[in-house]
C-alpha cells in the first residue's frame, strides 16, 4: 500500500514531487509547499523523478514542468502511469512558460489534473495542491469501500457455502450437532459456528482458524461475532473456558 498504510491520507504523510530542470524554480516551489506542511521530493530531471516515484509510494502529487530535456512533462506523466503498480493513487499537474495552447491540449489528453502558467501564482498553486490532495483522499476512500465490498462478498459466499449439502466442510468440529447432546448456550450455533467455537477453545487465532476451515479471515471474524452474540459470552477467553469437551 502507500501513504503510511494508505489511509487516512494526512498532510504530513502525502508527499509532493516537484520536477523541473531549473533548480531555482524547484527550490522556490519546494520551500513554499513545505511551508504548507507537506513533504517534498525535489527532482531536477525526469530520470530522477521516475526513480523517486518508483521508490517512494508516499508520493501522491506530482508537479512537473512541461518542457525539459529528455522527456516532456506529458511524456513523464505517461511514464509514471506505466510504472505505477495497479491501485497506486496519485494526481499530476503541469506548469509551463509557454503560451502554446497545444501544451494544454496535450496535458489534458494525458490525464493531467491541473495546469499552471509560469511564473506560477502561489495562491493558485496552494488552492490547486489542496484540490489534488482532496482528489487523492477521495480515491483512497473509494478504494477502501470497494475492498470492503469485495471482502464482504467473499465472506458471504463462504458462509453461504455451508448451506449447500453437497459441498463438504473441511475439518469440521467433531462435536455432535444433535440438539439433545449439545448443552446451552452452544445448542443455538450452526454446524460451522460450532466448528469455529471449538477451534477458539483450542486457542487458535482467526488466521489459524481460517486456514483450518478453508475460509477467509474476514469470515472467521463474522462467525466469532455471531458466536459471542448467540452464546452471550463477552469474549474469546470466556468462550474457551465454558466450551464443553467434544464427545
Beta strands in 70-123 (DSSP E): 91-96, 114-117
Whether residue 176 is predicted with pLDDT greater than 60 in this model: the reply is no
Whether residue 247 is predicted with pLDDT greater than 70 in this model: the reply is no
> Is residue 223 very low, low, confident or very high in pLDDT (cuts 50, 70, 90)?
confident
Tell me the average pLDDT across 8-12. Answer: 43
CATH architecture of 164-247: Orthogonal Bundle (1.10)
| Rg from Cα positions in the chain | 27
Residues near 44 by beta carbon (within 8 Å), at least 6 away in sequence: 19, 20, 21, 23, 26
Q: Where in the chain is the domain with CATH 3.40.50.2300?
A: 15-148
pLDDT higher for 126 or 222?
Answer: 126
Tell me the average pLDDT across 150-170. Answer: 56
Tell me the average pLDDT across 218-230. Answer: 84
pTM: 0.59
pLDDT higher for 123 or 176?
Answer: 123
Domain 15-148 fold is: Rossmann fold (3.40.50)
Task: Give which of 178, 171, 165 is closest to 196, Cα–Cα.
Answer: 171
Q: Where in the chain is the domain with CATH 1.10.10.10?
A: 164-247
Q: Which of 19-23, 93-97, 230-234 is least confident?
A: 230-234
Amino acid at each position: 500500500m502507500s501513504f503510511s498504510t494508505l489511509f487516512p491520507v494526512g498532510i504530513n504523510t502525502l508527499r509532493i514531487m516537484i520536477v523541473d530542470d531549473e533548480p531555482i524554480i524547484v527550490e522556490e516551489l519546494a520551500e513554499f509547499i513545505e511551508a504548507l506542511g507537506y513533504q517534498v521530493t525535489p527532482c531536477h530531471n525526469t530520470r530522477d523523478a521516475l526513480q523517486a516515484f518508483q521508490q517512494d509510494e508516499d508520493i501522491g502529487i506530482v508537479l512537473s514542468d512541461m518542457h525539459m530535456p529528455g522527456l516532456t512533462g506529458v511524456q513523464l506523466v505517461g511514464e509514471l502511469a506505466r510504472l505505477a503498480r495497479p491501485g497506486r493513487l496519485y494526481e499530476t499537474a503541469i506548469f509551463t512558460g509557454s503560451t502554446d495552447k497545444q501544451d494544454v491540449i496535450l496535458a489534458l489528453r494525458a490525464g493531467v489534473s491541473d495546469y499552471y502558467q509560469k511564473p506560477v501564482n502561489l495562491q493558485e498553486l496552494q488552492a490547486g495542491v489542496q484540490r489534488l490532495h482532496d482528489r487523492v483522499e477521495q480515491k483512497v476512500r473509494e478504494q477502501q469501500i470497494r475492498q470492503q465490498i469485495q471482502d464482504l462478498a467473499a465472506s458471504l459466499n463462504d458462509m453461504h457455502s455451508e448451506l449447500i449439502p453437497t459441498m463438504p466442510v473441511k475439518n469440521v468440529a467433531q462435536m455432535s450437532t444433535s440438539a439433545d447432546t449439545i448443552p446451552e448456550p452452544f445448542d443455538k450455533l450452526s454446524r460451522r459456528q460450532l466448528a469455529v467455537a471449538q477451534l477458539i477453545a483450542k486457542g487458535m487465532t482467526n488466521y489459524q482458524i481460517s486456514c483450518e476451515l478453508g475460509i477467509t479471515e474476514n469470515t472467521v471474524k463474522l462467525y466469532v461475532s455471531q458466536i459471542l452474540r448467540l452464546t452471550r459470552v463477552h469474549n474469546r477467553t470466556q468462550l474457551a473456558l465454558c466450551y464443553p469437551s467434544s464427545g
